Amino acid sequence: MAGRRPPGSTARRCPIDPQASALDELIRTRRGVLTGYAYLLCGSLAEAEDLFQDALVSALVRQRPDVASIEAYVRTTMRHTYIDGFRRRRRWAALRHLYAVDEDGRSLDPATADHVTARVDLQRALSALSPRQRACVVLRYYDDLTVPRIAETLGLSAGTVKRHLSDAAARLAPLLGDGPATSTDRGER
């Protein structure tokens, strides 16, 4: 009796929208992976969840036929949203002291925030990178994309991607210590 309508009911079942079912499947099967991807970009679980949700909302209005194409769209949207948001936050950080004041009426200087931590981890190290460097590192070592594929994804030249990866490796080395080889040459398989 679970699938039957009550007698006299005029309600009809709507056919399942393939877009909605693909989006449901994406959320059910890939939510953790995509939230983790967003976390690597922004470094905060709350921001990662917001980034993922914003990308899903954007995907709702796009007609994508299957889970793989929706996932690709969501990843691209999260990456672009993160980079655009970083630019806005950086601009606000430069101007915030002109507008924001504490309870005593003193200006809040962003340089006075406590930036020293006892533990240097991957999230802290990634936050030291520029948005482009961070996007290149995440695409290279998390998504395991080749340099040419990263260049295509971000709309950059392969040389620019190599420069971002090299600069990021130089910046991450003192923060993370010795680790696996960070050669960008292996990206040209």
Is residue 183 predicted with pLDDT exceeding 50?
no
Q: Are residues 31 and 90 in the same domain?
A: yes
Average pLDDT over residues 129-137: 91
Average pLDDT over residues 129-155: 90
Range of the domain at 150: 120-189
CB neighbour list of residue 11: distance below 8 Å, 6 or more residues apart: 5
Angle subtended by helix axes 45-60 and 67-99, to nearest 10? 120
Domain end, chosen from 72, 94, 111, is at 111
Per-residue model confidence (pLDDT) at position 122: 74
Q: Are residues 53 and 104 in the same domain?
A: yes
Q: Is 183 helix (H, G, I), strand (E, B) or coil?
A: coil
Q: Are residues 102 and 24 in the same domain?
A: yes
Domain end, chosen from 44, 77, 111, is at 111
pLDDT winner (highest mean) among 45-49, 109-113, 140-144 = 45-49
Q: Is the dihedral of CA 157, 163, 166, 167 positive or negative?
A: negative
Residues 129, 137 contacting (CB under 8 angstroms): yes
Q: Is residue 7 part of a domain?
A: no
CA count, 13 A, side-chain hemisphere, 110: 11
**67-113 confidence digits (pLDDT tens):** 888 899 999 999 988 888 766 666 666 655 555 555 555 544 444 33
* Mean of the per-residue pLDDT values of the chain: 75
Q: Is 61 helix (H, G, I), strand (E, B) or coil?
A: coil
Residue bearing the bigger pLDDT, 143 or 168: 168
Q: Are residues 78 and 21 in the same domain?
A: yes
Q: Are residues 42 and 107 in the same domain?
A: yes
Domain end, chosen from 49, 76, 111, is at 111
CB neighbour list of residue 186: distance below 8 Å, 6 or more residues apart: none
Q: Is residue 169 part of a domain?
A: yes
Q: Is residue 47 part of a domain?
A: yes
CATH number at residue 141: 1.10.10.10
Q: Work out how many domains the chain is built from and give that number.
A: 2
Instruction: Read off the amino acid at residue 24.
Output: D
